Structure 1
Amino acid sequence: MRKPIILRIADSLNWVVTLRILKGKDAWTFLVELESRELDLAVFKESVRPIIDQVKLREDDAVSELTERLYGVKLAPEEFQVSIDVIEEALSLVDRDLPVIEELVSKVKEFYSRQKIESFIAKEKESEYGVTWIPLERVGIHVPEGEGFAYFSTLIYTAVPAKVAGVPQVFVFTPPLANGAVNPYLLAAAKLSGVDRVYRIGGPIAVAAMAYGTTTIPEVQKIFGTGDLLFMTAKKIVSPDVAVDFPSTPVEIVVLAGAGANPSTVAWELVSQAEHGLDTFLMVITTDESLADAIVSATR
């Protein structure tokens, strides 16, 4: 059996990917260690819990101060929510790509509409029985934000099903960009998905605001969405007080590359996932050392 060669992502940020190659015994040792690894959130709780406590105690004031401290953006409480005018303007800013967003919204809506379970009441002699499905009144969705790109598909895949289910109030929370704005593609997707409000608040700050509410932000009945490890930790902390969706975990991908694999194609598979953050785990397994070198070169 030929010894495996493993390319492991050591760091990934702003589309810059650094790879290191493991061979032979080192590769096998690494694979064995993967089987027993666990994600320990304890170290993150020390950073996240004070944020949640501050928002619970000081509400809007804490949201403003923490947003400035963590994101470098100063917002007054009346500026948390993105105005309708700004959302409408976003549609014109991305008008050339609107058909793509509209098509995705339409397909997701059709897909989930086919799955919708209807309520029913059946009567038999002097008795009746049935099932009544009652949608939640208000949900919050967190969507990660990045400079230069927007996870509008994440918004669509969560907001549209909520609207299909009949949720009256769907709020989206997303971190502000460096200039305090929200990516217009995200705003356009929110508008087309039927989102009722968009708040430029993100991470643990948003989780706390969704869970406990503030003077300007109503608390929600359930929190959905993805984010980094700090966001995931925040969801776990508030979960005894508010319903949350399935815990999001760091992105992981493993590519098995044979001798005939195109190194550029493999590199793109890696880079397409590397944007999710420093906790992203990407790996290539191959027995071709020259291919491993070529993949490393292709990611530069």
Structure 2
Amino acid sequence: MNAVQIITTREQLKHRMERRTTVSTVEPAVRTILDRVKQFKDAELLALTERFDGVQLQTLRVTKREIKDAYNEISPALFQALKDARERILRFHEQQKEESWRMEPEAGVYLGQQVRALTSAGIYIPGGKASYPSTVLMNAIPAKIAGVKRLVLTTPPQADGCVNASVLVAADLCGVDEIYKVGGAQAIAALAYGTESIPPVHKITGPGNAYVACAKKLVYGDVSIDMIAGPSEVCIWADEQSNLAFVAADLLAQAEHDEDASACCLVPSIEYAEALSIEIYRQLEFMDRKEIAKQSIQTNGWIAVVECDDEAIEIINDLAPEHLEIMTVDPEGRLDDIQHAGAIFLGAYSPEALGDYMAGPNHTLPTSGTAKFSSPLGVYDFMKKTSIIRYSQKALGKVSEQIIELAKTEQLNGHAQAIRVRTEEELR
């Protein structure tokens, strides 16, 4: 029995590469949540936390005492891992900083670009049954490097009313300023519109379920967001020398995220494809999240047999995968031909899991083919730019006729008059 479909024809491949489009069934409920949080603020947040998380809270904000206690709850090994990951992520993202600049391209002309950090930003971290301290690091560190003055984190409380200790420690290590026990669409509403306890922010980042994704989509425009993330995905390009166990393990690592996750592989022969399918099925039996991974592999996983490197590159660029692993003998040989991918992992010892936690580049990546026009989350996402323009009277005079001509063509005579009043002597 095959654990994953093997594709040998272009028609089969075309069918499997078609992006899944889903109609949001949660939007009416999310709109109601957004409206009610806008109207009832903290009271609604507390009511929804009791309803959805089963927790009665008196206050929403995490206290300094809770953060201090969290350090005693995690193991020394986890604390060291968080610190090491923080340093690697810091080192990489420091290279993304942008500076303001000025130029004088001609006499009397002074131009420039002012680069400023966003004043405030909010990070959403999924919680409840699971914990994602790595996502805290990946979102908070770029924001702090950018210079965001007020960085807020929201996450659902656990059954005991506390926030997961590893999340609190990660947030504290990154200098997060405020942490609130609220999740779901209601957290997005609070960050976008504000409540008595939670002042609004200018940008919201971080992953979440369908309700969170829908809420981010609906509040966009009132506040900036990072992206609307779809199911996570990996594409592995292998050859006959690629280690079967490595390839199978990386496909399953992706599949264990959730049932909608997508894991696919490009291979050189039907023999390799069949051997890989068997290895996937063998490893699947030993997974803790076996049923989730199995559903993902059987529903969304596939192995495609490609005739040559050019065909593999064509498929990759069409997919624009969130994660691309190149496990061929010469992984860098065709790197320049890869046009679209969120992150590229080169060689047998650069698995996606490395990038998720410790390599340094951000693990918040464009999904669903959006790598064709989007970038990983970075310092630049927490900054904005303002243009600076200064002309002398003489410099304006040199371009006045062209401005007036363009303004007349666009029937914006007020624009033309704004130039004439400064440059035509008889109007002074």
Please report how far the alpha carbon of residue 153 of structure 1 lies from its aligned counterpart in structure 2 after TM superposition.
1.2
Superposed, which structure 2 residues align to 1:9-158 within 5 Å?
22=5, 31-76=13-58, 79-94=59-74, 96=76, 97-122=78-103, 128-145=110-127, 147=129, 149-158=130-139
Please report how far the alpha carbon of residue 219 of structure 1 lies from its aligned counterpart in structure 2 after TM superposition.
0.7
TM-score (norm 2): 0.58
Larger deviation, residues 167-176 vs 40-49: 40-49
Please report how far the alpha carbon of residue 287 of structure 1 lies from its aligned counterpart in structure 2 after TM superposition.
1.8
Whether contact under 8 Å (1:254, 1:283) holds in the other structure is yes
Q: Residue 231 of structure 1: SS of its match in structure 2? A: helix
CA distance in 2, matches of 1:99, 1:293: 35
Superposed, which structure 2 residues align to 1:203-242 within 5 Å?
203-242=184-223
TM-score (norm 1): 0.80
Please report how far the alpha carbon of residue 258 of structure 1 lies from its aligned counterpart in structure 2 after TM superposition.
8.2
**Cα distance 1:174–1:273, how it changes in 2: closer, same or farther (>3 A)?**
farther
**Cα distance 1:142–1:198, how it changes in 2: closer, same or farther (>3 A)?**
same
Percent of paired sites with the same residue: 33
Whether 2:175 is the aligned partner of 1:194: answer yes
CA distance in 1, matches of 2:183, 2:23: 19
Whether 2:159 is the aligned partner of 1:178: answer yes
Could you tell me which runs of 5 or more consecutive residues in structure 1 were left unpaired when the two chains were aligned.
8-20
Whether contact under 8 Å (2:41, 2:190) holds in the other structure is yes
Larger gyration radius, structure 1 or structure 2: 2
Paired residues in the alignment total 279
- More strand per residue: 1
Partner of 1:18: none
**Cα distance 1:292–1:276, how it changes in 2: closer, same or farther (>3 A)?**
closer
Larger deviation, residues 118-127 vs 33-42: 118-127
**Cα distance 1:263–1:127, how it changes in 2: closer, same or farther (>3 A)?**
closer
**Higher RCO by CA contacts (8 Å cutoff, separation 6 or greater):** 1
**Cα distance 1:6–1:46, how it changes in 2: closer, same or farther (>3 A)?**
farther
Larger deviation, residues 168-177 vs 93-102: 93-102
CA distance in 2, matches of 1:220, 1:48: 19
Please report how far the alpha carbon of residue 67 of structure 1 lies from its aligned counterpart in structure 2 after TM superposition.
1.2
| Structure 1 residue identity aligned to 2:49 | T
Larger deviation, residues 243-252 vs 275-284: 275-284
Q: Residue 74 of structure 1: SS of its match in structure 2? A: coil
Let me know the Cα RMSD of the aligned residues.
Answer: 3.0
CA distance in 1, matches of 2:183, 2:86: 23
Please report how far the alpha carbon of residue 128 of structure 1 lies from its aligned counterpart in structure 2 after TM superposition.
3.5
CA distance in 1, matches of 2:45, 2:206: 19
CA distance in 2, matches of 1:155, 1:272: 20
Could you tell me which runs of 5 or more consecutive residues in structure 2 were left unpaired when the two chains were aligned.
267-272, 291-428
CA distance in 2, matches of 1:138, 1:122: 29
Whether contact under 8 Å (2:26, 2:211) holds in the other structure is yes
| Structure 2 residue identity aligned to 1:251 | S
Whether 2:271 is the aligned partner of 1:287: answer no
